[in-house]
Amino acid sequence: MSLPVYEAIGFQKILEKGGHSKPWIVLVEMKGGLKPYVVKLYKTNDIEARNKMTAEVIGNILAGEFGLKAPEAAIINFSPQFRMQLNVECENVLSQVDERPKFGSEFIEGSYLYSTQTDRKTTTELLNPELLYAFDYFICNRDRNLTKPNLLVKQDVAYLIDHEMGLEISEETLTNFIQGEWDSRYQNHLFYNFLKKSHGDKSNLFDEFLFYLYEYNFHRLKPYFTQLEELGFTTHKELILKHWDTIQKNSAIFATILSNSIQ
């Protein structure tokens, strides 16, 4: 299993509010017809410095595997034929970004950004905040915060987007975990204060995440790593999988770190 690969055949618009990379919405051709996809445009040095392509792909796939929702993802090619349609402004943008195939995710028509003013009842109807907090801590994604929720809402469903800053993993990250140290930077997480204000016993708040963790076979991710490597991306998969394997084998430490962080 790996991500589908689609050809961009039509440019729609630039998402001006889509972060510093200003993603594009393009039309791709698939069996069911044309569908709009949001495509990230990263500079080569950003990809190499932060492993952004890998973080987007693996974050998106794991979200679905851990009971969360994310837009359908794909690898998008910008062919010479597609680029010939573009105006000078768009072509100038492409001349400054990485030339390799790009990460894209289905454009969720009619969605809006989650508001931090959303009441507790509505929030828990959209998703499990405990699960998302644990998930982001697990994939080392500190980029989902009060300023940037990176969460789209459509009707009664919340979709996780923008995992590009995830996988911030090093040997030090692993050492701190084994020592039971909480990374205090996660006090800025979107749902940290939400969970901090929860009443009652918090020791079992992360049971759903632990269930997914127990059951998941991380070898299932290897085809995605292989796909990225065949496209020319460095994935650092050995370190990432080592980190997650250690957490999986020491899940009690992980649960304690999380529970203690919101007491």
* pTM for the structure as a whole: 0.95
Please report which confidence band the pLDDT of residue 1 belongs to, taking 50, 70 and 90 as the band edges: confident
Q: What is the DSSP string of 111-130?
A: -EEPPTT--HHHHHHH--HH
- Compare 22 and 242 and report the one with higher pLDDT: 242
Angle (nearest 5°) at CA 237 between 234 and 48 = 30
pLDDT tens profile 44-57: 999 989 999 999 99
Is the backbone of residue 110 left (phi > 0), alpha (psi -120 to 50) or beta? left
The domain segmentation of the chain, as residue ranges, is 5-106, 129-145+168-261
Average pLDDT over residues 4-30: 87
Q: How confident is the model at residue 84 (pLDDT cuts 50, 70, 90)?
A: very high
Q: 41: left (phi > 0), else alpha (psi -120 to 50), else beta?
A: beta
Least confident of 145-149, 201-205, 215-219: 201-205
- The percentage of the chain sitting over the pLDDT mark of 70, rounded to a whole number, equals 98
Residue 246's nearest CA partner among 163, 156, 149, 169 is 169
23-34, pLDDT tens digit by residue?
999 999 888 889
Is 19 a residue whose pLDDT tops 60? no
Please determine, for residue 257, whether its predicted confidence score (pLDDT) is greater than 60: yes
Mean pLDDT over each residue of the chain, to the nearest integer: 95
223's tokens: 């085809």
Which of the four pLDDT bands, split at 50, 70 and 90, describes residue 98? very high
Is the model more confident about 76 or about 33?
76
Q: For residues 112-126, give the mean pLDDT.
A: 97
pLDDT tier at 16, thresholds 50, 70, 90: confident
Confidence band for 174, pLDDT divided at 50, 70 and 90: very high
Residue 241: exposure state from Cβ atoms within 10 A (0-12, 13-18, ≥19): middle
With beta carbons less than 8 A apart as the criterion, state whether 107 and 195 touch: no
Closest C-alpha to 190, from 153, 223, 154: 153
- How many other C-beta atoms are found inside a 10 Å radius of the C-beta of residue 202? 17
pLDDT tens profile 187-198:
999 999 999 998
CA distance 27 to 34: 6
Number of Cβ atoms within 10 Å of the Cβ of 204:
12
Q: Is the confidence at residue 22, as pLDDT, over 60?
A: yes
